[in-house]
A and B are shown apart, each in its own frame.
Chain A
Amino acid sequence: MYKIKFIFTCLTLFIACVVSGQAKKPTLMVVPSDAWCIQHGYVQSFDDQGTEVEVPDYKRAFQNNPEVLQVISQINGMMAERGFPLKNMESAIKTLQSNSAEDMLRQSKSGGGIIESPIDALKKAAKADIIIQLTWTINNVGPKKSVNFNLQGLDAYTDKQIATATGTGAPSFSAAVPVLLSEAVISHMDNFTSSLQDYFDDMFENGREIIVRIQTWDNWEGDLEQNYGGGDELGYVIESWIRDHSVKGRFNTTDFTENMMLFEQVRIPLFDASNHAIDARRYLRDLSRYLSAAPFNIPNKLVMKGLGRATIILGSK
């Protein structure tokens, strides 16, 4: 009887550890590159206060070019086979539109609608933590066709290229573009996924790499060069906090003025003291509380962008 109880307790503890101990995994999404969209005319032109800008129109590319669907589907399939399930960009765009329509129609029993600030509206875009940018061009040599491709895995927050695969497939007389691309990519895919795996392994070993920004509201009377409670300047206080709370003290102070600070390559632990998975927002929540308390007493607002980017704006909520 005691043996059964012991086994049951061990099993429960194991399940609890597994459930609470899972790190927040980055999401991945394949996106046709800007160069491909511009080359094939899937762009919208805007007058940006005197400058003509061309912006890729992904929705039109997905709707009008069956090739892009097949190519992305091939890449998604290959990545899923290797244990990296991806978000599908086309579905993400459709979900956003459907959510937007639902929000527009939703009404409370007392007649209220869903509130949405310009920032909320801006956040309604297809997002992933790692963007896999794909460019391909078709070479025609006589009746033969071959494909050049470039696959780049980019960290959406640090802008670092974390994996790459480029190459040219073998020429063929009859194969369709997705097949040619699949043949060309397949030999490089293992290297690509291996680089991605290295990135994840590094994250588990040295912590997640994030970007931290400190900004100030324009109606705040203080600044980052001010001293609080007879201590150091506020900017240096924040820098010391980041140093003390990053994994192995690893971070870079990229910019530092009286109004703003930018920290890059900040390595944060994947779990907090209670073994709960954390991201950039959860990590900076402690700094936000630290600055709100005495001797600083600075009200501040903590805003986030995905797993790997968070900003504290000093002076007000």
Chain B
Amino acid sequence: MKRIYFVFLFLLVLSMGAKVQGQGNVVGSGPQPDFMALGIYIEDGLVPMESRTIMETKLQQIATANGISDLGNLSRFILVPKISVIGKEVLSTAPIQVVLSLEVTLCIGDAQTSHMYATKSFLVKGVGRNINKSYIAALKTISPKNAGVINFITQGKQK
């Protein structure tokens, strides 16, 4: 009986702790923006399957390098990438080379109110033996420590 009571008490403390952390996601109340956790959302089909993991990892690195990233899918504040293919060349060299120039736009938004707080666009370029490898090569060059990216996350959190 004592053990059940102890487990119940422990769970109660845990749930209260989670509630306090959740309140931190509401703008203007609770903890400072530095503690705001950003979730990652990547639209299906945005990048080839083979390069999706590297995209996710890069975005998590960006979020954690500048605060906290939320690995769950229910975050209110999210970091969303958009990718436009600016240029693509397929070269008949041996081996075949695919050259990609991508414009990556990162957006910080509120999933509940659909408000967007900050955006940042930059160009990345990659070369590979097929389209997937080109995407991987291009996305690998995204730097979480880039001054522009850090500024963008800071601005988004402040808003």
Residues of A that sit less than 8 Å from B by CB: 31, 34, 44, 46, 48-49, 53, 55-59, 89, 92-93, 96-97, 118, 121-122, 124-126
Measured CB to CB, the nearest residue on chain A to B86 is A49
Residue from B91, B94, B128 within 8 A of A93 (CB atoms): B94
Q: Quick check: A53 and B90 within 8 Å, CB to CB?
A: yes
Residue B127 interfacial (CB < 8 Å)? yes
Give the one of A53, A55, A93 with max B CB within 10 A.
Answer: A55
**Tally of chain B residues near chain A (CB < 8 A):** 21
Contact with A along B79-92 (1 / 0, CB 8 A): 00000010011111
Identify which of B94, B127, B131 contacts A126 (C-beta below 8 A): B94
Q: Tally A-B pairs: CB < 8 A.
A: 53
Chain B nearest CB from A126 CB (Å) reads: 4
Chain B residues whose CB sits within 8 angstroms of the CB of A96 once the complex forms:
95
The chain A residue sitting closest to B125, CB to CB, is: A118
9 contacts across the A-B interface (CB closer than 8 A): A34-B92, A44-B130, A53-B90, A59-B95, A93-B94, A118-B99, A125-B93, A125-B94, A126-B95
**Is the pair B127, A118 in contact by a Cβ cutoff of 8 Å?**
yes
> Interface residues of B: mostly helix, strand, loop or mixed?
strand
Find A122's partner among B97, B130, B138 (CB 8 Å cutoff): B97
**CB-CB < 8 A to B71: which residues of A?**
none
Chain B neighbourhood of A46, CB < 8 A = 90, 98, 131
Interface set, chain B 115-159, CB cutoff 8 A to A: 125-128, 130-131, 137-138
A120 to chain B, nearest CB (A): 9
Which residue of chain B has the shortest Cβ distance to A97 in the bound complex? Answer: B95
A121 to B128, CA, bound (A): 7
Known: A121-B128, A122-B127. A89 touches B94 (CB 8 A): yes
Tell whether, in the assembled complex, residue A55 and residue B94 are in contact, meaning their CB atoms are under 8 Å apart: no
Q: A46-B131, A48-B88 are in contact. List 17 more A-B contacts (CB 8 A).
A: A44-B130, A48-B89, A49-B85, A53-B90, A55-B90, A56-B92, A57-B96, A58-B94, A59-B95, A118-B126, A118-B127, A118-B138, A122-B97, A124-B97, A125-B94, A125-B95, A126-B94
